[in-house]
Amino acid sequence: MRRADTADLAGSTALGALAAFVLLALTVTGRGGAPLFGDTDLLHWSLAHRPPVAVAAARAVTYTGTGFVPYLLATAAGVVMGRTARRGVLAAAACVACLAVGQTVRYAVMTLAARPRPARTDWVTHASGWSFPSGHTTTAALTAGLLALAILVRAPRGRAGLVAVVLTWGVSVGLTRVYLGVHWFSDVLGGWLLALCWLSLCAYAAARLAPRTFAEATEPVRSPAS
């Protein structure tokens, strides 16, 4: 895909995700943080389906959406993107910056929205801060997106399967937040939309502001048969 096409696609995706996120955020704040349609039903379903093994598995997955793991994966994504050691370091720094700034934006929005979490009696894992948008969800979605991008531009074969695995992980982290009782589903949806918007905006900036470096660092590796 040409750089101009990449920029256009990323820009359109960012605008669409931003519009959807703003609409959701306005709805959440306009209702005073009260649960939206489907939030209560999904939480009640989770409360009724919590065998110990499933709770332990959900906790294991949810812990990968915070702390050092996302930063380690983001660094790995950047290293994979670069064809040389120097470009790998630059790409890794860019990926880490994308993740860090995205988390900062998410925290600012969370503070402004100040949405209460579900009742603490429903929690089966640790949580802190306000509820919207979900921090674990945003972080995991950003990290999964960076990994997926690295796979798409560097894996000549088996890309679809690998991308499916990392995206499934990113989605699963968000879903565990509802299952474990610490977020409403609309918090998770907000995290996905915010991550998509920010990741797309970063891709747009890379394509527009640093076209030559972007092209060299992210030119897909082709198989010998192609």
Q: Is the pLDDT of residue 79 over 60?
A: yes
Amino acid 5: pLDDT? 79
pTM metric for this prediction:
0.91
Contact 62, 136 (CB under 8 A): yes
Query: What pLDDT digit, counting tens, does each position of 100-119 carry?
Result: 999 999 999 999 999 999 99
Whose tokens are 């925290």? That residue is: 107
Amino acid 158: pLDDT? 74
Q: Pick from 156, 110, 154: which is nearest to 130 by CA?
A: 110
Query: Mean pLDDT, to the nearest integer, of 162-186?
Result: 97
